[in-house]
Amino acid sequence: MSAIQENTEMTPNAQTNETPSVPGERVDMLNFTRKELEQYFIQQGDKAFRARQIFRWIYKQDVTDFTEMTDLSRNMREHLLEHATISSLDVVRVMDSVDGTKKILFRLKDGAQVESVVIPIGKRLTLCISSQVGCALGCRFCYTATMGPGRNLTIAEYMGQFLGAQRLLPEGQSITNIVFMGMGEPLVNFQNLLGTLDILTDELGPKLGARRLTVSTAGLCPQILKLGETFPVRLALSLHATTDAQRDQIMPINQRYNLKTLFETLRNFQKLPSQQSLPVTLEYTLIKDINDSPEDAKRLIKLSRSIRSKINLIPYNEHPGAPYKRPSSEAIANFLRILQESGVLATERQTRGDDILAACGQLALDGEAKKTRIPRPRNESPSSL
Ligand code: SAH
């Protein structure tokens, strides 16, 4: 048995799904899918359709004060005021890049901090959201991994990033796409990811088409299949290496699900009705002298051809948490040329938000990362920081 199989931290349920709760705490409406909210109202002796009303208030009108929800009965409004809440995340800081990218640092209720990034690409406005505080997967090149296992974000914390980012946009603009490519591993936070996807695609909620949502994973095979059975979302797979020996070294998850298992899973995933004709994006972070040789490119072509895929090359973003280097521009161009000449679909990801450290693997890279690791006590006010 490999060391990784013994590491229970890596199993999806090992991390707690809950923010530390306080007895008598109000229920957060942002944690509910519409179905769950219907159940909630039925349990309160009210009608299921209240859920539709609440959903509209929250996700269409951005109203978070129950007293303004005029189509609810007075009694229900009073009940909700006492027992429920619609949370929002504190915005610690917003950084705007010259290229239009916006990095937002949010503070969660327990004091931990996560980042989200809004990236304008043509007519699209893509939000990159975080799934966990820290990450247990331990990819050697990733900055978030240096924070340790941390915890899963709740559905409310996922939705809080979406609503919080949306509020910071100029009038008339709205988020059109979401990528789950921020801090942490979305498929470790699986149940909350499903709940969040349910809300995001709800016709009475933000109503984002599932094909506008991309979940990026380091390769948790059982969850990849379950995801495909549940939602027609796009999948991005963080590949980063083309042999087991290489991938074992930089991505410990490979010791649990090796390349053969991974690509068998992807082939089965692509047979699911939800994935008809959709390609999987193979993300490949180019790291100097680790995975950037012409032989790597050739093996990558072979792997890419074994499924419907497109390759997204990400030049490595250096950070103090790992010894790796970005290859020279020449080496990157050469690698891309080999891929493109073979006829596989490959692009280089344009690094966005470079000036504000919002690029892949750089989230929580500045001084704020330290605070992310040491949550403040609940009763400490932000101003005392
Ligand atoms: N856990 C998920 C999503 C988070 S990371 C996953 O593994 O896919 C989003 C992408 O950025 C992943 O492909 C990840 O491997 C890549 N990445 C992480 N650190 C990086 C770095 N320093 N430079 C470039 N890409 C990096």
Q: What is the mean pLDDT of residues 358-363?
A: 60
126 closest CA partner among 213, 59, 231 = 213
Mark 267-287 as b/e (b = at least 16 C-beta within 10 Å).
eebbeeebbeebbbbbbbbbb
pLDDT of residue 384: 24
Task: Clarify whether 360 is annotated catalytic.
Answer: yes
Rounded Cα–Cα distance for residues 102 and 285 (Å): 22
State the average pLDDT over residues 290-304.
98
Domains and CATH numbers, the chain: 3-12+89-371 (3.20.20.70), 27-85 (1.10.150.530)
Is-contact 346 313, C-beta < 8 A? yes
Q: Which residue reads 């009608």 in tokens?
A: 47
Q: Of 86-100, 140-154, 364-378, where does mean pLDDT reach its minimum?
A: 364-378
With both helix axes pointing from N to C terminus, report the angle between 190-201 and 155-167 in degrees, rounded to the nearest 10.
Answer: 40
User: Burial code of 43-65, b = ≥16 C-beta within 10 A, e = fewer?
Assistant: eeebeeebbbbbbebbbeeebbe
Residue 368 has pLDDT above 60, yes or no: no
The verdict on the CB of residue 129 being under 6 Å from ligand 1 is: no
Q: What is the pLDDT of residues 123-134, one digit of tens each?
A: 999 999 999 999
Mean pLDDT of 329-357: 88
Concerning whether 221 is annotated as a catalytic residue, the answer is no
Give the single-character DSSP code of 321: T
CA of 374 to the centre of ligand 1 (A): 23
pLDDT tens figures, 232-286: 999 999 999 999 999 999 999 999 999 999 999 999 999 999 999 999 999 999 9
For residue 292 and ligand 1, the question of a CB distance below 6 A is answered with no
Ligand 1 centroid – CA 282 distance (Å): 12
Are 94 and 168 contacting, i.e. CB atoms less than 8 angstroms apart? yes
Dihedral in degrees, nearest 10, Cα atoms 356, 179, 360, 99: -30
Q: Supply the mean pLDDT for the chain.
A: 88
- Ligand 1 pocket check for 360: Cβ under 6 Å: yes
pTM exceeds cut of 0.85: yes
Is ligand 1 within 6 A of the CB of residue 108? no
Q: What is the pLDDT of residues 17-58, one digit of tens each?
A: 444 445 578 999 999 999 999 999 999 899 999 999 999 999
The alpha carbon of 59 and the centre of ligand 1 are apart by a number of angstroms equal to 30
| Residues in the chain, overall count | 385
Ligand 1 contacts CB of residue 281 (under 6 A): no
Q: Select from 283, 310, 325, 351 the residue to mutate for testing ligand 1; criterion: most ligand atoms less than 8 Å from CB.
A: 283
166 pLDDT higher than 60: yes
Atom 15 in ligand 1: residue holding the nearest Cα: 238
Separation between Cα atoms, residue 223 and residue 347, nearest integer Å: 27
Contact, 136 vs 9, CB < 8 A?
A: yes
Q: How far is the centre of ligand 1, averaged over its atoms, from the C-alpha of 167 (Å)? A: 27
Confidence band, pLDDT 50/70/90 cuts, at residue 205: very high
CB-ligand 1 contact for 115 (6 Å cutoff): no
Strand residue runs (E) in the chain:
27-28, 84-85, 90-96, 102-107, 113-121, 124-128, 132-133, 151-152, 177-180, 213-217, 234-238, 280-286, 309-315, 346-348
In this predicted structure, the answer to whether residue 383 has a pLDDT above a threshold of 70 is no
Q: What are the CA-CA distances from residue 95 to residues 91, 160, 316, 320 (Å)?
A: 11, 18, 22, 21
User: Which of the listed residues 115, 189, 216 should we mutate to test ligand 1's pocket, taking the one with most ligand atoms within 8 A of CB?
Assistant: 216
Catalytic residue from among 115, 157, 185, 283: 115
**Is the predicted pLDDT of residue 10 greater than 70, yes or no?**
no
Ligand 1 pocket member 208 (CB < 6 A): no
